[in-house]
Structure 1
Amino acid sequence: MDRVAESEPATGAPPPPARRGLTRGALGIAVVGLLVFLVGALGGSYQGRLGEVQKNDNAAYLPATAESTEVGDEARRFSDVETVPGFVVYHRDGGLTDADEAAISADLADFKGIDGVAADQVAGPQFSTDGQTASTAVPLIGRTGSTTVNGERLVAVEQEVLKAARAGAPDGLAVHSAGVGGLLVAFIDAFGGLDSTLLLVAGIVVVVILLVVYRSPVLWFFPLFSAVLALGAASLAIYFLAKNDVLTLNGQSQGILFVLVIGAGTDYALLLISRYREELHTHESRVAAMTQAWRGAAPAIGASAATVILGLLCLGFGELNSDRSLGPVCAIGIACTVVVMLTFLPAFLALFGRWVFWPRTPHVDSASDIATHGVWWRFAQGLGRRARPAWIGATVVLLAFLAFLPTLSSSGLAITDSFTDEPDAVVGQRLYDASFPQGAGAPAVIATDADAVDDVITAVSRVKGVSTDPGSVCVAPDFAKLAQLAAGGGFPAGTPAPNGCLPEQVQVQPHDGRILVDALLVDRFDTAAAQQAVQRIRDAVHAIPGANARVGGQAAVQYDTLQASRHDRNLIIPIVLAVILVVLAVLLRALVAPVLLILTVLLSFGATLGVSALVFDHLFHFAGADPGFPLFAFVFLVALGIDYNIFLMTRVREETVRHGTRAGILRGLAVTGGVITSAGIVLAATFAVLTVLPLVFAAQIGFTVAFGVLLDTFLVRSVLVPALCTDVGRRIWLPSRLARAAP
């Protein structure tokens, strides 16, 4: 780069017009930066409050059009209270003692007195045939009227239930939670302390990497502090949007938001700081150097952020509410990040001057043309001499990894297989499954026209996967009436009914010609067998003329979630690719280069999933992956992976205009090699932090994105893309005028 160093104006002389424009621009950035700082600082207090507006119920994940959602909406007409079924499981090896049984029976009254427990549905205890295990049904209140209980409250109630059970338990009696409620609470509790844990671990990782990269005891603070401000600004916006139901925030979205902002923010900061240090070798004035650096880096950073934001917003085309919510939540995070990194950070750096780089302080020495010396320049020169073997070799390696892709199982996970550790609810669920009917507590719920209820019961009773025990398929009970009867001394004469169902007096009554039927399944609600049974039940009841029957319940929720995940994956991936292709074409003003970049990112993505399949199966021994996993991995890997290609190719285009295509590619690689590699390491490390969460999904996303970013950084962006572009030559710029310029 042949630049002329700007000279300072003589003392007392009026600044030239260019300097006045420069000063006004720098002042504007500084003012905006100050406002951003105030917003980010205020928003920091809302990071810890995001749990207050989280929603982790079915509505937060399933679309309103799902059949199970429609049945849930109908069920609300029959009761103002919606419960989350759960159990307390007691176990003693060798058999329960008389003292155990007495304590278990005494717990019933304690459970009913706990605020947040559906007292009228507490039932039991029941004992296993081997006499070692007992269980009591203790449903939690999930909704009252239009008010949904948040996750933190559910966790608190479940903990109080277990505390009450363990307080009166004789020595040696094990007490665990189980059922839908226990497993849901375990899932919600896995996100407990999310903000502090993830921020602490991510912060330590980023500090260590930045210390190694910059070898400065000071500079690491600037990008990390700016990223934390960006997270504060994003938290402020998301808190109020979620509180007013403009968007939905769940634990999954919050966890990804934190690592995405820290990782992407550090990436953007690295690019700006690298360009700033480069310009300090030319400009005596730190403001002039930052202004020039900003002009050079802002287009690439802005284009990168726009690509990620657009890719994330494409999730809005999905059916799952969890996908639709993740998009705007993370897009807000990236938008706040790019604003902070292009306003506050440059003002912050320019304010403190050159000493932030100490002890490697840059001075004016006209050495900003780092493209012609250093490790990356030698690497670029060698790559240029062997371009074709290099890109062919890189492609062969990626194809070898890609060959393992068919071994990736993404058909879904049972909730008991969704944890990387073994929470109390999983232990309790295994004990329950070994001792009692697995489908108990989470029946399939059929909403049907009351006139067809007998036909529906008959049809459902014949479905494979539905329990054949008496009372397994019945009109749903009215728990309020059951509670009144229990308080008054028991059931009316003539009970139980011959079919094992409760008497009509304590069943729900038709509402607007509709009624609910419960069907006990043989298998637990989150298993593939239960979901197949739901499919068969739907086929059976949909065929009954005039029934207008729909099937819901927990197993149906699981089934509908998996179906929607597959739909979203197949729909959104092509849309994201098309959007990114358009962005690249506009940015590079070419068509061939964007197509090549998309193909390399796709190859990298497939290779990453292939390696992930091997690691998940043979190293981590996971039972499988959620159908939504490939989609999330794709959005983050492609959107973030294309970032590095944007950083590289925008600089390549800038150098090509001055030096020709071949030299421009090699110079662009040399100039960006160090900063992009550092950025890739930082981003990979921050996403790897997700593995601290005890959830299989988080571990899978964390590993896959981290490995994919490193693969893209060291092989795709450093070897495959520049070597392929060098071999293709100036035709990469077709149909722009650069394609007809010097090679």
Structure 2
Amino acid sequence: VATSLIALLAREPGTNAGYGLSVFTTTRIFVVVLLFGAGTDFCLFFLARSREMLQTRPGSSRRHWQRVVASSWRSVHDALVASALTTVVGLALMWFSQFQKFQYSGPIIAISLLVTLCVCLSFTPALLCGIGPLAFWPFHRRSYGEVGMAAGATRAVPRTTRSERYWARLSGWVVDRPAFALGVTLLVLTLPAAYGLLRLGHVTYDLTEELSPSAASRRGAQLIARHFPTQDGSPLMILMVRDEPFSTEEQLREACDELSAALYVEGVDSVRSLTDPLGDYPPGKRMGLFDRDAWRRRLLNRIARERYVSTVNGLQERVARFDVVLADNPFSLDASATLRRIERVLEPQLENPDSAWYGAHLTTTGTTVGITDLRLITQADQRRIQVLVTIGVWLVLVLLLRQWILASYLIFTVLLSYFATMGLTYATFAYLYAPDYSGLDWKVPLFLFVILVAVGQDYNVYLVTRIFEEQRGLGNTGGMRRAAVGRALQMTGGIITSCGFVMAGTFVAMTSPAILLWLNQALPTDWVDPNTPVLRGMTELGFALALGVLLDTLVVRTILVPAFMVLWQAPSKRTSR
């Protein structure tokens, strides 16, 4: 249903037909991954509540089963809608990006999640009513046992299974020593978070590094770089367009010669132009009459004129081309810095009335120009979207929870988890790829931020709404607040952890080509093709998302949120609603 709806809204390739949404390869991957992950989470949370109510209210009639499903639906409806809204709003705000891959990916994924939510709240309950208690076979227990909380107790009554006993012990530790649990966990997360904050801008835009070392194109590029000048294949092309043609050939050659000399700034290896088509003569070095290959080079002037001066009708003697070979990798920050120095040199030439290029139109193109523009746009998008998504998700939490302090704390925990994930991810891949590692792929920080801030709130919302539910029954004072937090953590711990592992597993699937190659030594030779291409950026993003979801599931939701809820005195009017 979701893919059909997206196909209906998408623009047809090569035309303007459709509703204007462009679907990229990355978008399709995220639609599949997030639909399986989030959709499974929605269904698991609903099924877990149905199973819990069936165990506390045993019965064998179909009518009783339908009442259990209806009661479960009412219990989890608000939590599911709230958690889905945080994700949908966060992803939809990517529409305000300038880079189209970001601009269209967010809304498309958000639409898919809305479809998933509707299916979970409609088709899943109907299907569960049709299947009946058989849906939980063979693990359904008719007798739930004692799950209540003794008056004034601070920990839940131990349950029967190993998982339930684990959550009983953990919830007891958190509610008995909330300040210690909160302080130690914050201290442990602060170290990788600080490292992640320092490394936030260390990203690479090198498209050749995106492929695995075994890829044919990357091996070819490395071979060329080994035997030929490194940057000859990706020069910076400059076009100078005058309004009027040069009056004489001598003026044209003199203007090109002066501008070529000015272009030799720091970071420039050579400049090729009409007067020096091979770029062998920088300022201060002139070709003598009897220099080696002097006559051959002079014969190149005829070919150079066709290459570096336009011969198109109406543009003759008006357009001159300069090829600037950079000393650094055209994808690197150093190359972008050289481009800025070149632009600063050219600006006075265009504004000086005494210059031969006064009033000319400047155009630059090439790999470095494209990568620099991409870097500027995506970095501006990242700053804008990070602010918008944070504010948008915070407003959704305030509207749903009616507690701005709690909403602010939940945002803080997810941001802490994001920076810690960035630090751990950078450290992991720096270790794996050292010493050739130049940074995370440029797409990782933004996609990781949006998905973690939006999706990461799901589990917090599940837990907080359950705590509010328990507080309405037990109260919000003294030991009852501790009891409500402990019971909520114990009752939701297993299912939310399962949801987290499901979501993390879907993200791990994005790294499967890399995992198979790493396991190639232990697997039969015909199982894995050693030349299978691996997208490094997709591997890094999948690893980071899986790690971030696990941090949210196992640390933020398990310790940081319940410990804060024990220490924080919520206004009583909220829990009485």
With structure 1 as the length reference, what TM-score do the two structures score? 0.60
| Aligned CA distance change for structure 1 residues 719 and 425 (closer, same or farther; 3 Å) | same
Q: Report which structure shows greater RCO (CA 8 Å, sep ≥6).
A: 2
Q: Greater CA deviation, 324-333 or 390-399? A: 324-333
CA distance in 2, matches of 1:397, 1:564: 35
- The residue that corresponds to 1:394 in the other structure is 185
Are 1:657 and 2:472 counterparts? yes
CA distance in 2, matches of 1:672, 1:472: 74
Amino acid at match of 1:355: L
CA distance in 2, matches of 1:617, 1:294: 46
Amino acid at match of 1:250: F
- The residue that corresponds to 2:195 in the other structure is 404
- The residue that corresponds to 1:301 in the other structure is 80
Structure 1 SS opposite 2:471? helix
CA distance in 1, matches of 2:489, 2:372: 48
CA distance in 1, matches of 2:48, 2:448: 29
Unpaired segments of 5 or more residues in structure 2?
A: 150-155, 246-251, 278-297, 352-358, 514-533
CA distance in 2, matches of 1:245, 1:458: 52
- The residue that corresponds to 2:537 in the other structure is 697
Could you tell me how far 1:715 is from its partner in structure 2?
A: 1.2
- The residue that corresponds to 1:429 in the other structure is 221
- 1:248-259 equivalences in 2 (<5 Å): 248-259=22-33
Amino acid at match of 1:382: W
Q: 1:642 aligns with which of 445, 452, 457?
A: 457
- Cα deviation code 1:483-532 (max 9, x no counterpart): xxxxxxxxxxx974368342689744557999573524235533444333
Q: 1:590 aligns with which of 360, 384, 403?
A: 403
Aligned residues: 490
Q: 1:573 aligns with which of 382, 386, 392?
A: 386
Q: 1:497 aligns with which of 278, 298, 301?
A: 301
Are 1:725 and 2:565 counterparts? yes
Are 1:534 and 2:356 counterparts? no
CA distance in 2, matches of 1:525, 1:452: 33
Could you tell me how far 1:395 is from its partner in structure 2?
A: 1.0
Structure 2 SS opposite 1:354? helix
- The residue that corresponds to 2:369 in the other structure is 556
CA distance in 2, matches of 1:268, 1:359: 22
- The residue that corresponds to 1:323 in the other structure is 102
Structure 2 SS opposite 1:648? helix
CA distance in 1, matches of 2:6, 2:18: 14
Contact 1:249 1:326 in 2 (8 A): yes
Are 1:678 and 2:512 counterparts? no
Identity in percent = 29
Structure 2 SS opposite 1:326? helix
CA distance in 2, matches of 1:322, 1:577: 20
| Aligned CA distance change for structure 1 residues 599 and 529 (closer, same or farther; 3 Å) | closer
Contact 1:652 1:664 in 2 (8 A): yes
Contact 1:312 1:635 in 2 (8 A): yes
Q: Greater CA deviation, 634-643 or 654-663? A: 654-663
| Aligned CA distance change for structure 1 residues 259 and 460 (closer, same or farther; 3 Å) | farther
- The residue that corresponds to 1:716 in the other structure is 556
- Cα deviation code 1:93-136 (max 9, x no counterpart): xxxxxxxxxxxxxxxxxxxxxxxxxxxxxxxxxxxxxxxxxxxx
- 1:155-554 equivalences in 2 (<5 Å): 230=2, 232-233=3-4, 236-237=7-8, 239=10, 244=18, 246-281=20-55, 282=57, 284=61, 285=63, 286-363=65-142, 373-374=158-159, 375=164, 376-405=167-196, 406-407=198-199, 410-446=202-238, 448-451=240-243, 458-459=258-259, 462-464=263-265, 465-466=267-268, 468=270, 470-471=272-273, 496-497=300-301, 500-502=304-306, 507-509=311-313, 517=321, 519-522=323-326, 523=328, 525-543=330-348, 544-545=350-351, 546-554=359-367
CA distance in 2, matches of 1:308, 1:644: 11
Could you tell me how far 1:539 is from its partner in structure 2?
A: 2.6
Contact 1:651 1:668 in 2 (8 A): yes
Contact 1:445 1:518 in 2 (8 A): yes
Amino acid at match of 1:308: T
Amino acid at match of 1:459: L
| Aligned CA distance change for structure 1 residues 636 and 511 (closer, same or farther; 3 Å) | farther
Could you tell me how far 1:267 is from its partner in structure 2?
A: 1.1
Amino acid at match of 1:361: H
Structure 1 SS opposite 2:321? strand
Q: 1:617 aligns with which of 430, 434, 447?
A: 430
| Aligned CA distance change for structure 1 residues 342 and 664 (closer, same or farther; 3 Å) | same
Contact 1:497 1:503 in 2 (8 A): no
CA distance in 2, matches of 1:562, 1:345: 44
Could you tell me how far 1:697 is from its partner in structure 2?
A: 1.3
CA distance in 2, matches of 1:470, 1:634: 44
Contact 1:407 1:613 in 2 (8 A): yes
CA distance in 2, matches of 1:655, 1:234: 39
Structure 2 SS opposite 1:616? helix
CA distance in 2, matches of 1:329, 1:512: 49
Could you tell me how far 1:542 is from its partner in structure 2?
A: 3.6
- Cα deviation code 1:656-685 (max 9, x no counterpart): 122123133222212211110000011111
Could you tell me how far 1:469 is from its partner in structure 2?
A: 5.6
CA distance in 1, matches of 2:86, 2:552: 17
Q: Greater CA deviation, 582-591 or 418-427? A: 418-427
Unpaired segments of 5 or more residues in structure 1?
A: 1-39, 41-229, 476-493
CA distance in 1, matches of 2:380, 2:124: 41
Contact 2:11 2:22 in 1 (8 A): no
CA distance in 2, matches of 1:373, 1:241: 59
CA distance in 2, matches of 1:685, 1:362: 28
With structure 2 as the length reference, what TM-score do the two structures score? 0.77
CA distance in 2, matches of 1:330, 1:310: 11
Structure 1 SS opposite 2:270? coil
Structure 1 SS opposite 2:364? strand
Could you tell me how far 1:567 is from its partner in structure 2?
A: 1.2
Contact 1:466 1:533 in 2 (8 A): yes
Root-mean-square deviation (Å): 3.2
Could you tell me how far 1:297 is from its partner in structure 2?
A: 1.6
| Aligned CA distance change for structure 1 residues 276 and 517 (closer, same or farther; 3 Å) | farther
- 1:593-608 equivalences in 2 (<5 Å): 593-608=406-421
Amino acid at match of 1:263: G
Structure 2 SS opposite 1:333? helix
Contact 2:235 2:367 in 1 (8 A): yes
| Aligned CA distance change for structure 1 residues 447 and 266 (closer, same or farther; 3 Å) | farther
